[in-house]
Amino acid sequence: MYKEELMLKLLLLFALFFSGYTLSGNISKISDGDTLSLNAKGEQYKIRLLGIDAPELKQSFGKQSRNHLLKLCPIKSRAKVFFKKRDKYGRILGKLECKNAKEVNKQMVLEGFAWAYREYSKEFVKQEQRAKQLKKGLWSEENPIYPQDFRKQFR
């Protein structure tokens, strides 16, 4: 009996540790194609979409990427963020769900408005390959510049 109880408690702790957190609120700002602000519990939270890297606003397809995220998650619309941690800038790293899209991160990559951010996750690589194959969004350009390379030009 004691062994079963201990196993059950360990399993519960394991599930709690790996399940992460959920934050629900209203979209208050779309900064670019992978960053937004969420008003939840009377506070503003800066959210960075996990596993994707969208073009910078001054980069080709940057404004289109932001506008696409805005279309999926309009200002003042309800949203949920599923997360486990924050990045080095204090932003919540998470997966976003909105009324118009259940898997926003995946949609952004699949529709060609963001890259799979391979340095941090391999989760959306297949979606990126599919978008590239179909020449969707930024993949309609001959040689789109990866956002990380674009940012390096200005350091």
Phi, psi of 28 (to 5 degrees): -115, -20
Q: Report the distance separating Cα 100 and Cα 14, nearest Å.
A: 32
**Considering 48, 97, 111, 128, which one is annotated as catalytic?**
48
Token pair recorded at residue 59: 């980069």
**Considering 5, 43, 56, 142, which one is annotated as catalytic?**
56
Is 118 catalytic? The answer is: no
Residue 89: C-alpha distances to residues 21, 85, 149 (Å) = 19, 11, 19
Task: Give the residue carrying structure tokens 């390379």.
Answer: 149
**Considering 66, 91, 97, 128, which one is annotated as catalytic?**
91
Is 128 catalytic? The answer is: no
Residue 42 burial by Cβ neighbours in a 10 Å radius (0-12, 13-18, 19+): exposed
Neighbours of 2 (CB within 10 A): 6
Q: What residues are annotated to the active site?
A: 48, 56, 91
